[in-house]
Structure 1
Amino acid sequence: MTPALLPDLGKALQGAVNRAVDAVVIGLGEDLDGLARVLTAPVRLVETLLQPLTPELAVLLVFGLGYLARRSLRFAAAMAALVAGLGLLGVWAAAMQTLALIIVSVLFIVGLGLPLGILAARLPRLSRLLTPVYDLMQTIPSFVYLIPVAMILGLGRAPALVATLIYALPPFARLTELGLREIDRGAVEAARALGLNRRQTLLLIELPLARPAILQGLNQSIMMALAMVVVASMIGAKGLGETVLLGLQRADAGLGFVGGLAIVLLAVLLDRLTQALLRGQGPRRGQGAG
């Protein structure tokens, strides 16, 4: 048998990763349990707040939000119909669990991605450093980091939240940086000439001018967070992904179809409603509401 010219590093790398994960779990066990509880607490809180929300009440609420966002009865009725569809499918509780995970994930994404985008826009070296990191976060298959994250944080909402952050953070941070880089520098220089300091210029001039790109990144991150729902169910996260997973495990095509359809309805609802609310796409004066 002809000997291989290249050494087999796979076994060595596998052992090194296993030893590193074991060292982290054994050495930081109690701290990791505390971190998991910290990450899980806001998701549980949002789930508790969403529990009293019945499908009927949610239909009225979304109808009102849709009308305020677009001043269109047709748009508001379409958004309310999507919510009614979730209720009619019988997966309302699972949909609220998924929504809670998405809400908390998006809050973390904004809290981390906005400062990263601002710093990267001002520090070219940091931008060059973060670019390959973002590429790795977006291209690496989720199952590659899902296993060690689940081993470190345990099963449930905490590893699902971390996995969602890894997957959905890059587009928001990148588009925030891009939006700040492409604004009119003349407006910034004029603001500085009028006496505004760097912080005031950022809050009053730069961020408002970069708002379209930032909102586009936020919308993409929301959709990517929802895309992780089914994957997150494999490490114990509750929600619509668990419904799809149960359908797969039980060879129940109908259950899987119901869960998948509910995810589609929720995705369309979040996409259209968040775009309308954040971008304020209402008709101009004199135009009809329909």
Structure 2
Amino acid sequence: MDWLYEHKLPIGDYAKWVVDWLTNNGALFFDTLSIAIEKQIDNVLWLLQAPPPVVFVAIVSLLAFIVRRSIRFTIFVALSLLLIINLGYWQETTQTLALILSATFVCMLIGVPTGIFCAHHPRFYAWVQPLLDLMQTIPTFVYLIPTLILFGLGVVPGLISTVVFALPASIRLTQLGIASTPKQLLEAGEAFGATYWQRLWKIELPYARPNIMAGLTQTIMLSLSMVVISALVGADGLGVPTLRALNTVNIAKGFEVGISIVLIAIILDRFFRRPQRKSGQ
């Protein structure tokens, strides 16, 4: 069995060669992409930080009532955000929200069309499935290293790592929703002369909407779970005080930051989750 150890496959060397080649030949592309991503996140952050915190809380609470039509949820949103302000983590919370919203937007922008294409081309989806499994199971630090080398410290490698980790959820659930559209509905659309795009927009997408919304909420939750990882590569947000509390064994700070992250997770989940229908409706 010694030959098995003596003849090591140069997989790591090939990966290093690819990253080095990209670094040497794609510097202009990666610099341009980095600037564009930072610009997008800065714009989102400006929208979140432009109004005074109390005004922002009032706006979000009003949106919560409009979306969910629930006084209890509206009060919960207002009290949660006010508690975060009281604890002193409002700026970090808006930075985290900017990263989550940007990553979710990119994931849905790529994931929904890709999921539709996969549903219509099962052979292509069979080839894509192992890649999606790899994206969700490979340790985050493995692809954090090349993104850090290509984009440097900052929010950009954090965003890209978040997108890589959260993207499979939107692809899988969109594919599932489109593929599960009853054949009777599609045949009825064809019988009435519906084109491909008419079947997609008027039959498949409405039927797959619950799955797509589930993909949206999962993407948001997966993106939120990456806040600490993003802080390791220089991204601002709630991950920074989390790491500081961990390094200094500061139980009080760690608990406060943890409460803030949990509240944001609950708000985002309830905000975008599809309301359940009562039995008999």
With over 3 angstroms needed to count, the CA separation of the structure-2 counterparts of 1:274 and 1:8, relative to structure 1, is farther
Question: Which residue pairs with 1:58 in the alignment?
Answer: 56
Residue of 59, 65, 68 corresponding to 1:67: 65
Query: Which whole-Å CA distance do the structure 2 matches of 1:73 and 1:16 have between them?
Result: 57
Question: Which residue pairs with 2:224 in the alignment?
Answer: 226
Question: Which residue pairs with 1:165 in the alignment?
Answer: 163
Question: Which residue pairs with 2:233 in the alignment?
Answer: 235
Query: Which whole-Å CA distance do the structure 1 matches of 2:33 and 2:3 have between them?
Result: 45
Residue of 266, 269, 272 corresponding to 1:271: 269
Moved over 4 A (4+): 8-11, 280-284
Q: Which moved more, 1:8-17 or 1:32-41?
A: 8-17
Query: Which whole-Å CA distance do the structure 1 matches of 2:154 and 2:48 have between them?
Result: 19
Q: Indicate the SS of the match to 2:33.
A: helix
Q: Which moved more, 1:248-257 or 1:112-121?
A: 248-257
1:25-36 equivalences in 2 (<5 Å) = 25-36=23-34
Query: Which whole-Å CA distance do the structure 2 matches of 1:72 and 1:45 have between them?
Result: 30
Identity %: 38
Query: Which whole-Å CA distance do the structure 2 matches of 1:158 and 1:8 have between them?
Result: 39
Question: Which residue pairs with 2:43 in the alignment?
Answer: 45
Query: Which whole-Å CA distance do the structure 1 matches of 2:141 and 2:94 have between them?
Result: 25
CA RMSD of aligned residues (A): 2.0
Query: Which whole-Å CA distance do the structure 2 matches of 1:226 and 1:251 have between them?
Result: 23
Tell me, yes or no, if the aligned pair for 1:95 and 1:240 is still in contact at 8 Å.
yes
Residue of 198, 209, 212 corresponding to 2:210: 212
With over 3 angstroms needed to count, the CA separation of the structure-2 counterparts of 1:11 and 1:117, relative to structure 1, is closer
Kindly state the Cα deviation for residue 15 of structure 1 after the two structures are TM-superposed.
Answer: 3.2
Tell me, yes or no, if the aligned pair for 2:104 and 2:219 is still in contact at 8 Å.
yes
User: Could you tell me the TM-score, scaled by structure 1's length?
Assistant: 0.90
Question: Which residue pairs with 2:254 in the alignment?
Answer: 256
Tell me, yes or no, if the aligned pair for 1:178 and 1:213 is still in contact at 8 Å.
yes
1:49-198 equivalences in 2 (<5 Å) = 49-198=47-196
Q: Indicate the SS of the match to 2:5.
A: coil
Greater relative CO, 1 or 2 (CA 8 Å, sep 6+): 1
Query: Which whole-Å CA distance do the structure 2 matches of 1:58 and 1:44 have between them?
Result: 17
Query: Which whole-Å CA distance do the structure 1 matches of 2:60 and 2:49 have between them?
Result: 16
Q: Which moved more, 1:35-44 or 1:88-97?
A: 35-44
Query: Which whole-Å CA distance do the structure 1 matches of 2:161 and 2:170 have between them?
Result: 16
Q: Which moved more, 1:55-64 or 1:146-155?
A: 55-64
Q: Can you list the C-alpha shifts for 1:136-174, whole angstroms capped at 9, x where unaligned? A: 000001011001111111111111111011100101110
Q: Indicate the SS of the match to 1:37.
A: helix
Please tell me the residue identity of whatever aligns with 2:87.
L
Tell me, yes or no, if the aligned pair for 2:132 and 2:168 is still in contact at 8 Å.
yes
Query: Which whole-Å CA distance do the structure 1 matches of 2:105 and 2:192 have between them?
Result: 34
Give structure 2 stretches of 5+ with no counterpart.
none
Tell me, yes or no, if the aligned pair for 1:79 and 1:273 is still in contact at 8 Å.
no
Kindly state the Cα deviation for residue 281 of structure 1 after the two structures are TM-superposed.
Answer: 5.6
Q: Can you list the C-alpha shifts for 1:55-88, whole angstroms capped at 9, x where unaligned? A: 3123222322222223221121112222112111
